[in-house]
Amino acid sequence: MTASLIVGLSGVMLTDEERRFLRDVQPAGVIIFRRNVFDRGQFARLIDEMRDAVGRDDFLVLVDQEGGRVQRLKPPIAQALPPAAAYADLYADDPDEAKEAAFLIARLTAEELRAYGITMNCAPVADLPVEGAHEIISDRAYGRSVPQVVALAQAVADGYLAGGVVPVVKHIPGHGRATLDSHLGLPVVPTPHRTLSATDFAPFKALAGLPAAMTAHVVYYAIDPQQPASTSAVVTREIIRGEIGFDNLLMSDDLSMNALSGPMRGRAEAVIAAGSDIALHCNGDLNEMRAAAEGVPPLSGRSAARFATACACMERSEPYDKERALQLLADVLGAETPIV
């Protein structure tokens, strides 16, 4: 049975221990990082070996390929991609062209990812940054107004879906007010619930129909003063599943981030108990992966159905104007000619 877990790998080759782990644990997927990529041939072999070890069709291969600062696959492995802020700049001059660019560049990226066997991208970011917040979001955001962020994030998600790549909107219910990087510590947001509903939560409510989302390691003090959203049953039940209305596949942010504390098994148990369908562990430490695996159940019931719905998105492949996509990519990047 499929475990409620997504894991990372340690390097550019699948070790014998990792192969056994994938075979025995049967995680829902593997997430790729820069440490896993040397060249095109090696990367393609690594993904083939992962798939062979698991032996299932409903196996997700994930990457963080937002563009800008957060782009795990870089030239010459993959196209250079602009940060979300570049679309925001274009939106100020021409909203329709910005949405077209967001859609077509995502569709182009989906084609590139699928050529390697990557089926899920941890994008778009729908966080709404505010003055004084930590720069961890900053240019990863599509703007500072709800309608603009929704329009551009939806266009990006639609582009990935058109190319058979499952988008993961993040970081639900909103990371934009965090004054700490959750990789390094636990952010606490003291903003009243009413304000959060009108701002931070609003983009996710508008995007609640997307097939997958990633939780935030952020404490929303007005809702649950003790636990971050990722381990809070209150936030998951009342805000993510309730107020926002997101009822599709929900995964935690990385268990190995310093926003969380305690043993790795306990962290995995906590995110599942809070209501996430899948726990995400990224750093490739096999001992930690084993501990996380001990803390998660097999996918079943509603979680299994959500997983199946997300996997079904991989079957899509809609035609698009690739030449126009390349030209828009060059324009948004400020290049003189399309990238090939």
Alpha-carbon distance of 158 to 201, in angstroms, equals 20
Among the options 39, 52, 94, 183, which is catalytic?
Answer: 183
Residues 6+ apart with CB under 8 A from 198: none
Say how far residue 264 (Cα) sits from the centre of its chain. 21
Q: Is 175 considered catalytic here?
A: no
Backbone angles phi, psi at 308, to 5 degrees: -65, -40
Strand 212-215 with 219-220, pairing: unpaired
Alpha-carbon distance of 338 to 324, in angstroms, equals 9
Q: Are 274 and 230 in contact (CB under 8 A)?
A: yes
Among the options 253, 254, 277, 281, which is catalytic?
Answer: 253
Amino acid at site 106: A
Amino acid at site 12: V
Q: Is 217 considered catalytic here?
A: no
Residue 139 zone, left/alpha/beta (φ > 0; ψ -120 to 50; rest): alpha
Q: Residue 158: count other Cβ atoms within 10 Å of its Cβ.
A: 18
Q: Are 39 and 71 in contact (CB under 8 A)?
A: no
Give the catalytic positions in this structure.
183, 253
